Copies of this chain bind each other. A is one copy, B any other.
Amino acid sequence: MNRLAPSRAALERYFPILTWSKTYNKDTLTSDVVAAVIVTIMLIPQSLAYALLAGLPAEMGLYASILPLVAYAIFGTSRALAVGPVAVVSLMTAAAVGNLGLATPAEYAIAAGTLAFISGAILLAMGFLRLGFLANFLSHPVIAGFITASGVLIATSQLKHIFGIKAEGHNLIGMIGSLLSHLGETSILTLLIGVFSVGFLFWVRKGLKPMLLNNGVKPRLADILAKAGPVAAVVATTLVTVIFGLNNHGVAIVGDVPMGLPPLTLPSLNGEIWSQLFVSALLISIIGFVESVSVAKTLAAKKRQRIVPDQELIGLGASNVAAAVTGGYPVTGGFARSVVNYDAGAETPAAGAYTAIGILLAALVLTPLLYFLPKATLAATIIVAVLSLVDFSILSKAWGYSKVDFAAVAATILLTLGSGVEVGVSAGVLLSIGLHLYKTSRPHVAEVGLVPNTQHFRNIKRHKVETIPGVVSLRVDESLYFANASFLEDYVADRVVCDEPIKDVILQCSAVNELDLSALESLEALNHRLKDMKINLHLSEVKGPVMDRLQRSHFLYEMTGKVYLAQWDAWQAMKAIHGSEISEPSAPESVENPSVAAD
């Protein structure tokens, strides 16, 4: 066997298609095709609408829904994820490309393709370097806040199409101000179409399916009909526009959409544009990846399937590169359409490829029919879709659970609404990390004593415990590292300066998961300071990995005290030294829920 040939396992890692295609049969084919038909119906108006949201020609939304889906079918690990243009990424694309101050729509389109290319390259690089874990630094509350605020921004940005007026602005205040100042130019006919579409789509979402079911329509069909709501709105408003020539009476229409195969496009090779787009591409990559993987994980868990995050990076990276070279713009896995795909019975990623064929047929055949489609209808599609993302309850949930999480969510929402998507999400990530570091830099330290008649040690402020005069036992509830190294040193140094003469300090290290070089130096300094005061420093319950590390240093030789395996051993040794003068267990200073407060 040629040892240089890649092993089958390695090939299957990078090409998941090799795994699932082995068991592909007529049944899976049928399931996948049915799912593909439903997703295609849902995706056509969405693709057009999101392209509009991104400030791009409508056909780019279709192009972004063809080859990228095939690429994901080959490289992706989720069996139900439906890839394509999504609302948040479209908004981020608009913001990123809008910043460049480009003159012509053609340049704008090339920049969007370039953005997809850079984003694809970043995702691929992260995948090969197995950097999927980086996405974890986007905390759940920050994502929830970001998606909610983006939904509000997106819905607001579409109001101009509903009113048929021109308006601008990259933040909520700016948009609303611009809308109000142009409100006098409202096109009544456009507004009628817009309001009808929004109302109809909300009704389809909430009321149609139950009504159909009540009228004896089979659940599967009712489902498909409900999903086809946006298509019905598109067809109806297009027909009305054609019949009454509304485009001559102020109703903005999509206009010419080129018919045919997606074009072969190349990303811009302008270094300046690359450097201007890089940070945006990074943010889009991470946001898109996080959104996509969380959907994929949720759906996979239902069938006990597995998602490989690092391979998902490769799948999404390939999709974005595919989008870049075929006239598309950044794509990722969408929440709503993936759920539809899953519910419709998609068994393998092949369903995505069949959806691509559906969209391709639309691009080849249907585009002339889109000429008279009112932009207000597309805006209505977007508004109804994104309002389902808006959920401010994360604010109250975070407030109730932890003020730190609340601060991160609130900052993300306010900054996203006030300063745009890129500032908002960056601030959320940085604030989460900053607050986490701040918390760990001031760890909880509990002074512990023995719970009578046990070998257990508990916080003297929460429990009735025994202590030995002259001995202080402190349990540090945090790993020791540079950010809190001097905190502990100062805490202990302050604690031993008291009326009672302290002879021994025991640090119970059961929660110290790590001890870096700064913390070691701080412990050494503490040891010296205590030595100067004739106080011995002991450690207890040091974990294996931490002990391994301490043994590589000189600290254990210099330490004035000993390392005890358990706090109980340390206690017994102290008792032997300091005689039997144990203080009576006293009532704790304050007891909060003593029954459950296992400190």
Contact = CB atoms under 8 A, between A and B. Distances in A.
A440 B512 CA distance: 12
A486 interface: yes
Interface in A168-224: none
A140 B521 contact: yes
A240 interface: no
A551 interface: yes
A495 interface: no
Contacts of A139: 481-483, 485, 516-518
A593 interface: yes
Contacts of A549: 401-402
Contacts of A275: none
B441 A487 contact: no
Given A397-B517, A517-B141, A517-B401, A598 B547 contact: yes
A514 interface: yes
A540 to B, nearest CB: 9
B543 A593 contact: no
Contacts of A511: 510-511, 513, 543
A597 to B, nearest CB: 4
Contacts of A566: 456, 598
B441 A133 contact: yes
B459 A513 contact: no
Given A139-B517, A301-B532, A514-B439, A592 B543 contact: no
Contact of A487 (B133, B522, B541): B133
A101 interface: no
Interface stretch (A154-162, A415-423, A430-438): A430-438
A598 B441 contact: no
Interface string A439-458: 11111100000000001100
Interface in A443-495: 443-444, 455-456, 459, 462, 477-479, 481-487, 493
Most buried by B among A455, A481, A497, A525: A481
A432 B441 CA distance: 14
Contact of A136 (B462, B487, B548, B551): B487
A483 B442 contact: no
A596 interface: yes
Contacts of A522: 140
Contacts of A599: 543-545
A336 interface: no
Interface string A528-553: 11001100000001111101110111
A462 to B, nearest CB: 6
Interface string A374-388: 000000000000000
Interface string A291-320: 000000010011010000000000000000
A533 B304 contact: yes
A400 B522 CA distance: 17
A529 to B, nearest CB: 5
Interface string A575-599: 0000000000000000011001111
Contacts of A485: 136, 139-140
A133 to B, nearest CB: 6
B592 A544 contact: yes
Nearest to A394: B517
A544 B448 CA distance: 13
Contacts of A493: 301
A142 B483 CA distance: 12
A559 interface: no
A183 to B, nearest CB: 39
A302 B565 CA distance: 32
A598 B436 contact: no
A335 B455 CA distance: 47
B136 A520 contact: no
A494 to B, nearest CB: 8
A532 B301 CA distance: 8
B598 A542 contact: yes
A563 interface: yes
A478 B546 CA distance: 13
A398 interface: yes
A347 interface: no
Interface in A79-102: none
A373 B513 CA distance: 57
Residue of A136, A398, A510 with highest tally of chain B CB at under 10 A = A136
Interface centre among A485, A517, A593 (most CB of B within 10 A): A517
A565 B513 contact: no
A137 interface: yes
A404 interface: yes
A-B pairs, top 6 by smallest CB distance, nearest first, are A139-B482, A544-B599, A405-B517, A140-B518, A544-B597, A477-B513
Given A436-B516, A511-B511, 13 more contacts: A136-B484, A136-B485, A139-B485, A301-B493, A304-B532, A400-B552, A402-B517, A402-B549, A405-B516, A439-B514, A440-B479, A511-B543, A551-B593
26 contacts: A136-B441, A136-B483, A137-B441, A139-B518, A140-B485, A140-B518, A140-B521, A142-B482, A301-B528, A304-B497, A398-B517, A400-B552, A402-B549, A404-B516, A405-B516, A436-B483, A440-B514, A459-B544, A462-B544, A511-B543, A542-B598, A547-B597, A548-B592, A548-B597, A551-B596, A565-B598
